[in-house]
Each structure stands twice: as C-alpha cells, then as structure tokens.
Structure 1
Amino acid sequence: MSDKTIERNNKQISMRTAYLFMHVSIFLWGFTGIFGRAIELKELVLVWYRLIFTVIFLLLINQFSKRIKKLSWAELKRIVPVGFLVAVHWVLFYGSIKYSNISIGLSCLSTIAVFTSFLEPIINKSEHNWKEFVFALFATIGMYMIFQVQEFQRTGIILGIGSAVVGSYFTILNARLVKDFPSETVTFYELSSGLFFITIALPFYLLLFPAAKIIPSVKDVEMLTAFSILCTVIPFNLSLKSLQKISAYTSNLYINLEPIYGILAAFIFFHEQNELKPGFYIGSGIILFSVIIYTVIRHRNQLLKVASSARKRFRS
C-alpha cells in the first residue's frame, strides 16, 4: 500500500470511528492479564514468546505499510535502552499476575501516572507540582490498603509496583522518542531490542528456575498467537489511527478504563472476586479516582499555560 493510499484512508476516518477504534483498543488491552494468567509459561518465557510473535507480525504488516524506517547506530542507541525497559516492565507485570492475580497486577499497573508525576520533573528537569504530590499520596494510600488486606499476595504486589515504576520511566522516554521518529519505527525497534535482551537473559533465568517450561503446548501456542494479534498488533494500530482525530489527553483518559475491563474479565473467566477482600476494592477505587482526577487537572493546567503564553505573545 502506498503512502498516498494510507493518507487517503486516514482522512476517511470520522470522529465517531476514531472513538470506536480507541475504545476497542483499550478493551483488547484489558485482556492482556487474562492471557498472561491463562498461558502456562513463566513470566520471562511468556514475554520472550510474546516478543517473538509480535515482532514477526509487525514485520509482516510492514511488508504492506512500509512504515518501519531504517535507523543509524546513533539513533538506535537512543531506542535500544528503552526496549530493555519495556521488556523488564512486561516481565514484572506478568510476574505480578503469576504471583498474585490479574486484578492486583492491573491495580498496581494503574499507578503508572502517579510515578510519572514524580519521575517526569526529575528526568525533564522541570518543577514539581504540589497538587501531583497530593494525588500521589492518595494513590499510595490505596496501594497500602491493598498491600495490607491481600497479605498472601505481597510478592505479586511488589512486582506490580516495580512494573509501574519501570513503565512510567520508559513512558517518559518514549514521549521524547515519538517526537523524532515514527511510532511504528519506535515500537518495532523497542520490541526487537527487548527480544534481544530477553534472549540473553533466558539461559540465566532457566538456571534459577530449572522447572520453568520452555516449550509451549499447542494450547499455549494458540493463545500466544491470539495474544500477540489481539492484545498487541491490533490495538496498537487502532490506537494510532484514533490519535489522528482524538487528542493525547482523551486517549490517556480512556486508558484508565483498561484496569476496569481487565478486572471485570478476571471476575468472569477466573472468578477472582472470591480471592479479593473488601479493602482491595476500596484501595483500587482510591487509586483509580486519583489517577483520573490527576489526568483531568493536568490537562486543564496545560490548557491554562497555552492560553497564558498566547496572551503574552499577543501583548508583545
């Protein structure tokens, strides 16, 4: 498909279709935890196969789209370390699910925005906002409540929080990369480098966990294929198309629905509500509330800054 054809198809997407694409992508991402628990492979082996399948599918798609660009070594040095962080993030997230359950893993993952509020000013050397600390405090209270009531799943909670910290870090770095490179290019090289690092780590992991199964069953292969297509390739492409019409702020607000979809799916497929105590729901509610309000207020502050800057330029 030529670039002109792609551009022409993009122009035909209506606002309603863009919202539909975004909602479908978030809905599909909500099933990430379901596949992570259902596939009978340890977390690092699972991530290894997911990366293999996803990179292959991205290469196949690129045969038609031609969106992946060749990069110089200097450019690769900016992207490859982020790919390592993506791989670590996934291993910690699926480890959280394996050692606890889907609901706890997703609740921990939803704190990414909170950790971003701490890390972003440090990495970008900007000022901290005291309002962000307030919302971070609420989210911390929510995590503490979950940690206290789910005492038998604390290893999973710690891994989930680690996943959120690493996830917030590479999200900040990705925000810089997508300004300089096409999203498809960044995604492909990040996942390819993540696959490289996981492949190197795999022998050492198997020494630590010799009982870990390395060869997937036929059922696991089927689920890995569906996992890579339904939870990575399709939602990634749909979300990119939707961003042609929908703002990044609206997209981030929609992403807050992912843990809700995932937890509901966990209740339906694995009956996880029987494993959770009332404090989990209260803690998760506090986290979700703080993340959504934080996102709304941050967007409002950005609009005020833009308006203030515009007024200054007008006066000058």
Structure 2
Amino acid sequence: MTKLDSTASPASVLDYFKLHFIVIIWGFTAILGKWMTIPAVETVLYRTLIAAFILAFMVKRKEWKLPKKIILQLLMTGVIVGAHWITFFAAAKVANVSICLVGLSTASLWTAFIEPLFNKRKIKLYEVGLGLVIILGLYVILQTDLSSDMVLGLILGIIAAILAALFSTINGKFTHVAESYTITVLEMSGAAFGIILFLPFYSAYFTNGAGIDMVLKNNVYFNDTLFLDFVNLLHLNTDFVLLFVLAVICTVYAYSVSVELLRRLSVFMTNLTINLEPVYGIVLAAFFFDEHEKMDANFYLGASIILLSVLSYPIFNYVNKKIKMKKQKLV
C-alpha cells in the first residue's frame, strides 16, 4: 500500500494552539468521568459507539481502502484504547481526578521502555534514571494518608498510563499510512467491539450478576409512561450531555486532531506538551471539586516530583540528540 505523503508542511502557530487546546480537553475528561453517574465500562462503550457512528459519516469512501492487515491492527489497537479509557475513568471514580492524573503522568516513563521494544533500539540510561525519580515521587505520594480507594485509583491510573504508552507507540506507525479520521473510527469501533465481547464476563464476575447498569433502563423513557413527564426528560439527561461532549469534543475532535498533528509537530514538542495534561487536569480538579483541600503536602510534593521528571524527559532526549550530532560531525 502507498503511504500518505510524509512531506507535510511546517507546523504553524495555529497547530501549537490546537495541541495545547487538545491537552486541556484531555485534562478535562477525568472531570467529565467524575461527574457522570454511568460506570466506567459503560461510559467507554457509549463514548466509542457514538464517536464511531459520527466518524463513519466523516470518512470518505476512498479512505476506507486499507489492507485487511492494517484494518485488523487498528481494530486491535482500539481494544487497547478502550481498556485505557476504562481504567482511566475507573481511577477517577474510585479515587479522585488528581490521583487519577498523577498515575497517568507516568505514561512517558512507560513509553521510554515500550518504544525501544517496538523500534528495536537500546534503552537510554537517562530514561531509566527518570523512571527511578518517578518511582520516588509515587513513594512520596503513598506517604500521604491515602485510603484504600485512593491507592486503588493510583494503581488504575498507572495501568491507564501503561496502556496509553502502548497504543500511542503503535499509533506512531500508522500516522503516515491512513488518514486521522480513518484511524480514529477503526480504533473506536475496535474499542466498542472489545467491550461488547467483554460484557458477559463483566456481568457475571464484576457486577455480581446484575449485568451492565445501562442507567436508562429504569428511566421513564423505557416504561409505559413514556412522554408523561417532560421534567424527568430534562433532569435525567445530564449524563447524555456529558457523554455527547465526551464523544464529540474529547474523541471525534481531540483524538483525531492529535493523530493528524503528528505529521507536522515534532515528537519533542508533542511529548512536552502532552505531558502537561496532568498539570491542567489537577488545576481544573482543584477548581471544580476543591480537591486541593483533601490533599496534604506529601501529595503535592510527590506530584511535583513526577511532573518535573516527566517534563524533563523530552529535554534530556533533545540534549542527547544534540550531543550525538556533534559527535558525528567530529568523526
């Protein structure tokens, strides 16, 4: 298959604004998940189904013409994306947004180990050093008087980070093979299909046989008194509004544009900016939920260590490349 044109135009100022705007949106997704009463698994199922349905009408017919192998790989990557979102929202629900985002902030650390495995290169020593510093930050946080729910939320956030590192590394190989909307619709379809296959096990082993909580199944819409109470219609649909925002703004727009921006923005700038997601998210959480009142100094010290380590990784990477270039010139 012929690859897409990789000679993309240089990044514009608008591209940088788009990237920061997307990162702010991603920082807000944990807050949306916290607000919604729908459980994490169902949230991701509805999110991916809505996004896939909308994107299916946006993808041009010729853009669907991909080798079956690529389509299958994108669908399987979508399963990883779905698992990432489930653990991400679960972390925010069982703990809080700040804890969730602290765990997520370790994503670049895991990328430092996962990416070399995919590209068959050596692991860099400074990446290992930064990983140890991040572990120190997590240790400091755990000195906080955290409840078992907070610890569980942190673990789920770290799992979400590992999955994010995995699918972002895989996506890096597809950006010049398929259009961004095509990549997104196939991955959202894969995520939704994977969750649907998981539902019988989810019902039997994770919800005590109660089945998935569709939230709406006992609502006025689905009984004999349909249309009798318009007030209930307005009251219940808070979750629908949040789901629509999550699917359209945080997925159809943000996820697709982030894939498309990889063609023009350098990896250095992209990683540096995306690493600000926990910063934006924790600030937003403090504003919306007053979570700063529930955390002590150890939490913020540990979080600061993690965020500084994460933000310093692209800088070390950039300096390392410069040193290598100078050595090559000397040779």
TM range (shorter): 0.7 to 0.9
What is the CA–CA distance in structure 2 between the aligned matches of 1:77 and 1:227, rounded to whole Å?
25
Which residue of structure 2 aligns with residue 277 of structure 1? 296
2:70 matched to 1:51? no
Task: Specify every segment of 5 or more residues in structure 2 that has no aligned partner in the other structure, as ranges.
Answer: 217-235
Deviation at 1:54, TM superposition (A): 1.2
Q: Quick one: structure 1 residues 60 and 105, their matched pair in 2 at CA, closer, same or farther if it must change by over 3 Å? A: same
Picking from 190, 198, 201, the partner of 1:201 is 198
Question: 1:170 aligned to 2:170?
Answer: no
> Residues 238 and 74 of structure 1: is their aligned pair in 2 closer, same or farther, counting only changes over 3 Å?
closer
The equivalent of 2:273 in structure 1 is 254
Shift of 1:215: 3.2
RMSD across aligned C-alpha pairs, in angstroms?
2.5
Query: What's 1:133 paired with?
Result: 128
CA contact (8 A) 1:93 1:160 kept: yes
Contact 1:36 1:94 in 2 (8 A): yes
Instruction: Answer whether contact 2:78 2:190 (CA < 8 A) is retained.
Output: yes
The 2-side partners of 1:300 and 1:230 are apart by 35
Q: How does 1:127-276 map to 2 (within 5 A)?
A: 127-152=122-147, 153-207=150-204, 208-209=206-207, 210=210, 213-216=213-216, 217-239=236-258, 242-243=261-262, 245-276=264-295
Would the aligned equivalents of 1:107 and 1:284 in 2 still touch at CA under 8 Å? yes
What amino acid maps onto 1:160 in structure 2?
Answer: G
Seen in structure 2, the aligned counterparts of structure 1 residues 245 and 167 have a Cα distance that, compared at 3 Å, is closer
The C-alpha deviation readout for 1:183-202, integer Å capped at 9, x for no partner, is 33222211111110001112
Worse-matched range after superposition: 138-147 or 67-76: 67-76
| Cα distance change, pair 212–197 in 1 and its aligned pair in 2 (3 A) | closer
Deviation at 1:176, TM superposition (A): 2.1
SS of the residue 1:178 aligns to: coil
TM-score by length of 1: 0.86
1:86 pairs with one of 81, 88, 111:
81
Letter in 1 for 2:46: Y
Letter in 1 for 2:247: S
Q: Deviations over 1:238-259 (max 9, x none)?
A: 4456556532321221112211
Partners of 1:70 and 1:150 lie apart in 2 by 54
Name the residue aligned to 1:41. Answer: 38
- Greater shift, 162-171 or 201-210, is seen at 201-210
1:21 equivalent in structure 2 = 18
Of 89, 95, 102, the match for 2:97: 102
Q: Measure, in 1, the Cα distance between the counterparts of 2:260 and 2:125.
A: 35
What amino acid is the match of 1:215?
V
Unaligned runs of 5+ in 1: 1-6
Does the Cα contact within 8 Å between 1:21 and 1:241 map onto a contact in 2? no
Question: The residue matched to 1:28 in structure 2 has which SS?
Answer: helix
One-letter code of the match for 1:98? K
Deviations along 1:148-206, one digit per CA (max 9) or x if unpaired, are 31521111111111111122122222222324333332222111111100011123212
- 1:175/1:150 Cα in 2 relative to 1: closer, same or farther (>3 Å)? farther
Deviation by residue 1:85-110 (Cα, 9 ceiling, x = unmatched): 11111111111111111111111101
Q: What is the aligned partner in structure 2 of residue 3 from structure 1? A: none
**Alignment-mate amino acid for residue 287 of structure 1:** I
Cα deviation for residue 39 of structure 1 reads: 0.9
